[in-house]
Amino acid sequence: MKYRITFVKEGITYEAEEGMTVLEAEIAAGLKPDAPCGGRGKCKKCRVHIDGKEVLACQTVIHGGLEVETLHEEVKSQILTAGYGRKVPFHPGELPADIKDPLLAAVDLGSTSVVAYLLDGCTGEQLSVKSVLNPQRQYGADVVMRSSYALEKGADILSSCIRRAVNELLREAAKSCGRSQEEIVKIVMVGNSCMHHLFLEIPVDTLVLAPYEPRVKEALTLKASDYGFLVHPEAQLLWLPNIGGFVGADTVGCLLATDMDQRERMTLMVDIGTNGEMVLGNRETGLTACSTAAGPAFEGAKITCGMRGSAGAIDHVYLKDGKLEFHVIGDGEPQGICGSGLLDAVACLRRTGAVDESGRMKETYYFTRNVFIEQKDIRELQLAKAAIAAGIRLLCKRKGIRTEDIEELLIAGAFGNYLDPASACAIGMLPKELNDRIISIGNAAGEGARIAALNTQEFERSKELAAKTEFLELAMDPEFQDVYVDELEFPE
């Protein structure tokens, strides 16, 4: 039986099957609700009003007609598009001869956001950049939740929604410079192993079960139209290779962008997101990579007043005359706190003694009446920062070096771009001795995809980079749990 569900604010009516949840009806009706916990009732982000009562959409089952007032507002998040700035010669390889002015595209398919770069196929000039939040967030904030959803209910929903999103970005990018997406003759994509598998509708079972290996590691050259792209009929779809479980083509893109295998200095590259991908090494020692499940706390998920880095988010906190002061994106009233603000706030609360080494709070800290940090938020941050810190320690052990032997620390990704290195070191997420060696490299994954689109030799080189990078599976390392527990506490 079907029932009419009316979403009052949006003016949308949807005929929902009996037994669906309100969250499922929202998604089916084309709305974009936030559900970082994947509809498990834990994050409390999908609140709606029904009959004057506030309920969780994911826990409210439809047994009759409803009028639903959604509470979430679609806000424009800060999405990082700029990269490290490495220049390569323009050599795109052989392109279809039947098109006079071809276009190339590069896509960074992140767990949180998607960025598309449009390039001139004759000169290599960047013509347009478009970005959007990953629509798969409706099925969970992190890749583990999305993998579980795919295993339980099938991957086709996740695959189709992300393909539509990429298609729309390419259409917008072409339109913005007076071109047609049908002029696109090559698309190069990067993403972590899970995003790679979900996009291509490759089963993700081997990623979530030991020994946590991707089903497909090698670089791929495919026909774009076979994956729903409305581009030139002969357009190629190229994916950079994966290295191992959750160390995917995005990490290979970062290696291309930074030329990391050619560096003389001992370098650590960390891409901090819901997963923390790390690569350590230099030209002499070779490269070793690992991934650790930091969880979505750095993206504001699972944090009581957490939100992404968008208007209304507290993004920086600092001490002034012994009191916490803060900055809000957009300079308006604070609506919540994002990952970089959370790091700063906890570092400040440690300095004032409001949070002890174990992470225990004396009391909930209020920025305003409606925006605060409570005990469970501290615990979520401890879990996330300990995962990153443990990964760094075990990489160093594998290389036979001390953390102080690292000469350069490259931080990739949006969260890394906006965090204060001093706060990251103060809470023990990054080694304190590296505070003055930290360099933000922006969206290096996206830049790696762009480099591979511009130069076919770089795409070939990506295969060599992936093949020669040693992969350390932390989940199978007997020491990981002990090191992880050690890193849960905050430094003195």
Mean of pLDDT values over 11-19:
88
- Which pLDDT band, with edges at 50, 70 and 90, does 174 fall under? very high
Distances from the Cα of 324 to the Cα of 90, 317, 341, 351, 385, angstroms: 50, 7, 11, 11, 22
Is the per-residue pLDDT at 58 higher than 60?
yes
Q: Which of 249, 224, 247 is nearest to 391 (CA)?
A: 247
Greater pLDDT, 301 or 278 = 278
Residue 406: how many other CB atoms lie within 10 Å: 21
pLDDT tens digits for range 218-253: 999 999 999 999 999 999 999 999 999 889 999 999
3-state secondary structure of 220: strand
Residue 301: how many other CB atoms lie within 10 Å: 26
Mean of pLDDT values over 45-70:
87
- Which pLDDT band, with edges at 50, 70 and 90, does 434 fall under? very high
What residue segments make up the domains of the chain, in order of their start?
2-70, 103-256
Mean of pLDDT values over 353-360:
96
Q: What is the DSSP string of 16-62?
A: EETT-BHHHHHHHTT-----TTSSSSSS---EEEETTEEEEGGG-B-
**Domain 103-256 is classified in which CATH homologous superfamily?**
Domain of unknown function (DUF4445) (3.30.420.480)
Instruction: Return the C-alpha torsion angle 301, 306, 308, 314, nearest 10.
Output: -160
Q: Which residues contact 31 (CB under 8 A, 6 or more apart)?
A: 7, 10, 12, 70
Distance, CA of 450 to CA of 120 (rounded, Å): 11
Distance, CA of 38 to CA of 183 (rounded, Å): 37
Looking at CATH, the fold of the domain delimited by 2-70 is given as: Ubiquitin-like (UB roll) (3.10.20)
- Which pLDDT band, with edges at 50, 70 and 90, does 94 fall under? confident
What mean pLDDT value characterizes the chain?
A: 91
Decide: pTM greater than 0.85. yes
Distance, CA of 249 to CA of 251 (rounded, Å): 5
Distance, CA of 435 to CA of 183 (rounded, Å): 46
Greater pLDDT, 97 or 125 = 125
